[in-house]
A = this chain, B = another copy of it.
Amino acid sequence: MKPMSRQIQLTAYPEGEIRVEHFHVVEVETPAPAPGEVLVRNLWTSVDPGMRLRLAAAGPAGYFAPFALNAPLDGIMTVGKVVETRIHGFAPGDIVWHAAGWRDFSVVRADEPALRGLGTLTKLDGSIARPEAYLGPLGGVGLTAYVGLLHVAELRDGDVVWVSAAAGAVGSLAAQMAKLRGHYVIGSAGSAAKVAYLRDELNIDAAFDYHDQPIDEQLSAAAPDGIDVYFDNVGGDHLEAALAALRRDGRAALCGAVSDYEGTPRGPRNLFQATANDLTLRGFRGSSHIHRFPELHRDMTRWLNEGLVKTRETVFDGLERAPEALVRMLAGETTGKTLVRVGGS
């Protein structure tokens, strides 16, 4: 008798805000792996802001495809343990990642690229204490922060750096990496608790809650002479404030625009600042930089081991809570990386 396996499926594309009612749990009999496949007991599955853009019949052109309705959700990074294998080189007990997430068990093909290569079935270092780190600092989240700061924004000596959503999964890593390089770093977030976290635990130089006062005023107070790099996770009014504050030859790494995901995006009305001040705005996806994973793993493993980079997770226990995790993350109620613990180890 095969184990029964739960999957989260999407039943409708939301009009307006996403709610847990847009998802349901489906029980299926887990298929046996065919030749070239493994069966994985999933341990941790990811919840990312960009998923919101895939909950629509048509998302941004060129972005990850929309999730199908009433079908397994594909392209969500997940860490699990191989329980049955029909691939040479994979053994039961191996810790792997793959992109067939939001379900108890996944049957995954080898060498099947998902998420532009990011989700290809890969064996991980099973000796690390917390394999969920592969969904955080050692995974796409870490890669996004790393390449966004160092390669997309082309961080230069002396740059003053602002990171928005700095208590989030990507933002908290980007802010800490900039601090590690000796930069003056400003972080913004959406609650007093998050601001305290940035100041007291991550030692960010200046932090503010964007609800407290107009963003441009708080940014000016934190960086009276302007900024050189803006790591954008929010878009909208945050990006406008950055454009007003960026100094000549400044750079914005456009990582995400979560303030725009549930409504009609409003473009930055002061984009001419880019022309006036020779600014570069560069959009990017971590998944376009997977060739830098070795570089990330080399640096991040050391930083984590030496306590130079700290991480925090907001964990939701049980696969059935994945939709709730997504809704609460989009509402700004989570700190650090949002994870769902699917099953026991």
- A321 within 8 Å of B (CB atoms): no
Q: Which residues of B contact A270 (CB under 8 A)?
A: 60, 265, 267
The distance in angstroms between the C-alpha atoms of A285 and B276, with both chains bound, is: 7
- A301 within 8 Å of B (CB atoms): no
Q: In angstroms, how far is the closest chain B Cβ from the Cβ of A115?
A: 13
Interface residues of A in 279-294 (CB under 8 A from B): 279-285, 288
Q: C-beta contact mask, A259-287 vs B, less than 8 Å → 1, else 0?
A: 01000111111111111111111111100
- B235 adjacent to A254 (CB under 8 Å): no
Q: Which residues of B contact A265 (CB under 8 A)?
A: 269-272
The distance in angstroms between the C-alpha atoms of A274 and B60, with both chains bound, is: 10
Q: Which residues of B contact A255 (CB under 8 A)?
A: 275
Q: C-beta contact mask, A216-260 vs B, less than 8 Å → 1, else 0?
A: 000000000000000000010001100010001000001111001
The distance in angstroms between the C-alpha atoms of A273 and B265, with both chains bound, is: 12
The distance in angstroms between the C-alpha atoms of A42 and B314, with both chains bound, is: 70
Report, as a range, how many residues of chain A touch the other chain. Answer: 35 or more
Considering only CB atoms, which chain B residue lies closest to A289 in the complex?
B278
- B278 adjacent to A281 (CB under 8 Å): no
- A62 within 8 Å of B (CB atoms): yes
- A63 within 8 Å of B (CB atoms): yes
Interface residues of A in 302-345 (CB under 8 A from B): none
- B273 adjacent to A60 (CB under 8 Å): yes
Q: In angstroms, how far is the closest chain B Cβ from the Cβ of A259?
A: 11
Considering only CB atoms, which chain B residue lies closest to A53 in the complex?
B272
> A276 with B235: in contact, given A264-B269, A271-B254, A281-B282 (CB under 8 Å)?
no
The distance in angstroms between the C-alpha atoms of A62 and B274, with both chains bound, is: 10
The distance in angstroms between the C-alpha atoms of A264 and B268, with both chains bound, is: 12
- A267 adjacent to B264 (CB under 8 Å): no
Pick the contact of A274: B260, B269, B281 (CB < 8 A). B281
Q: In angstroms, how far is the closest chain B Cβ from the Cβ of A257?
A: 5
Pick the contact of A281: B269, B277, B280 (CB < 8 A). B280
7 sampled A-B residue pairs with Cβ under 8 A: A62-B273, A257-B272, A267-B268, A267-B269, A273-B283, A275-B284, A280-B280
Known contacts A257-B272, A278-B284, then 20 further A-B pairs from the complex at CB < 8 Å, ordered by chain A residue: A61-B244, A61-B273, A62-B276, A63-B275, A63-B276, A240-B267, A256-B275, A265-B269, A265-B271, A267-B269, A267-B270, A267-B271, A272-B283, A274-B283, A275-B285, A276-B283, A278-B285, A279-B283, A280-B282, A281-B281
Q: What are the 10 A-B residue pairs with the smallest beta carbon separation, nearest first?
A: A267-B267, A274-B283, A63-B276, A275-B283, A62-B277, A267-B268, A60-B276, A62-B276, A281-B281, A280-B282
